Copies of this chain bind each other. A is one copy, B any other.
Amino acid sequence: MIRILGIDPGSQRTGIGIVDVDAAGKLSHVFHVALAVAGEDSFPQRLKRIFEGVDDVIAAHRPVECGIERVFMARNADSALKLGQARGAAICAVVHRGIAVHEYAATEVKKAVVGGGRSDKSQVQHMIGILLGLKGPIQADAADALAIAVAHAHTRSSLERVGIARTAWRRRW
């Protein structure tokens, strides 16, 4: 069984999700949270909250691999700079723990969860609930984080079936 961390970073809210995938590709939900950081005094303090929030989740649940959404193009330079800093903070917390980060395009994530690359956010939220047997609605950013973890779980299972193991550095624990 492999424990996977999914992250959907943002400068307002960062979604963090954890799923387990067994040798047969069966998924189980472990944890999810949407870390709200917009209320912090300063932007550096937001980054601290993201870094330490991701680090706390890793310490508590000890995932061994991580998936994160690849950003192709942000809306504009200003939002790209904010998103970039949030993403940098989240990735640092992961790589500092010696966990490999795998990047997935939004279309790959949607395909893994809903089956189509053009589905909207609410479909992802809905399908993640069904796939992981969760009761009640899940916050959108947390659902996206779980979806990224599921996308990585699918990808690594397919690769293992055809005998191509993704190189993953071992954890530092």
Contact = CB atoms under 8 A, between A and B. Distances in A.
A51 B83 CA distance: 17
Contacts of A48: 92, 95-96
A87 interface: yes
Contact of A77 (B44, B77, B86): B77
Interface stretch (A57-65, A67-75, A121-129, A149-157): A67-75
A48 B91 CA distance: 8
A80 to B, nearest CB: 4
Interface in A146-166: none
A109 interface: no
Size band of the interface chain A makes with B: 20 to 34
A38 to B, nearest CB: 16
Contacts of A92: 47-48, 51, 88-89, 92-93
A111 interface: no
In this complex, the member of A71, A76, A80, A82 whose beta carbon has the largest number of chain B beta carbons within 10 angstroms is A80
B95 A45 contact: yes
A81 interface: yes
For the complex of A and B, the 4 pairs showing the least CB-CB separation, nearest first, are A84-B84, A88-B88, A85-B88, A80-B80
29 contacts: A44-B95, A44-B101, A45-B95, A47-B88, A47-B91, A47-B92, A47-B95, A48-B92, A51-B92, A51-B95, A52-B96, A71-B81, A73-B77, A74-B77, A74-B81, A75-B77, A77-B79, A77-B80, A80-B80, A80-B81, A81-B83, A83-B84, A84-B84, A84-B85, A85-B87, A85-B88, A87-B88, A88-B92, A92-B92
